[in-house]
Structure 1
Amino acid sequence: MAGRNIGVAVDFSACSKNALRCAAANLAASGDRLILIHVKSSYQYEQGVVQLWEHDGSPLIPLVEFSDPRVSKIYGLAPGREMLEILTRAANQKGVQVFAKVLWGDPGKKLTEAVQTIPLQWLVVGNRGLNRVKRFLMGSVSTYAVNHTTCPVTVVRENKLPSAATTNY
């Protein structure tokens, strides 16, 4: 099915890079849109941007702008060379359109809202593998997303290969 919006939750950590690799290699196909969703829970240093897009998030930021350090700085993003290479490869080799979207607020809630507002047909999230106590105390964005979204969710564990993902239908 071409033309899907596939969301990938990114916080620029190793586990979100694994989630991105999985989405780019295994899910994205020609004509799809790969949308990186970065949720910032902190409002520091970004008051101007936050005031403009606090409720609905930033506009979709095309890869060419997302790759520009000046644009990334406006939104407080730090994609890094490796992530940009993964995205550029997906765009050039698979014919995937790549965008980024920045949201502000609680990561789990904002991801589930993004499924409806963008809308997304698939969501990919990383999982750091927190033990039960840490997950209870800190919460888990991936667990929240699996339990509250209306689209399929693929959870990619940090220390596993992308093919070791679990999917909720």
Structure 2
Amino acid sequence: MIEIRFHGRGGQGAVTSAELTALAAIEQGKYAQAFPSFGPERRGAPVMAYVRVSDEPIRTREKIYEPDIVVVLDPTLLGIVNVAAGLKEDGVVVLNTTKSAEEIRERSGITAKLALVDASRIAMETMGIPITNTTLLGAMLKATDLLPLSALEGPLQERFGRIAVKNIQASQRAYQETVVKE
């Protein structure tokens, strides 16, 4: 089973990212569950969302404390939240950033595999808004062998209808532009 934790701020789409990942996995014949973790926070407050993907039925319903993959939608969270807390030894952190791997490691102490992409720029150029959730799904899929990139197309079309094409393009660009550093 692969466990994923998304970190974002309210309104950035972390919960939607988790749901889209689960839907894409289900369309690929896998079992999946997605769920948010937030309280009475308001827009802009840190939130987390979780996904489990497995070839077997998933029985557990607890929060994910030791993820295989962490996806960080908002780079300002690095100074506020320990996004790598509990990350498995062979885990990966997918990060929306303009910084180099060396800068990220120095500032955050993250020693895990990094997948870095300027998702904010890609989202602005492709969709005209700085919402990075679907963009970062492309980066996550480049850094892992979780699912093929094409698995996102159906869920994106279902969720976003006529504007799905821009979300698909943004995820494809992120897939191409993501830099993975061990």
What TM-score, normalized by structure 2, do the two folds share? 0.31
Name which structure has the greater RCO, CA cutoff 8 Å, separation 6+: 1
What TM-score, normalized by structure 1, do the two folds share? 0.33
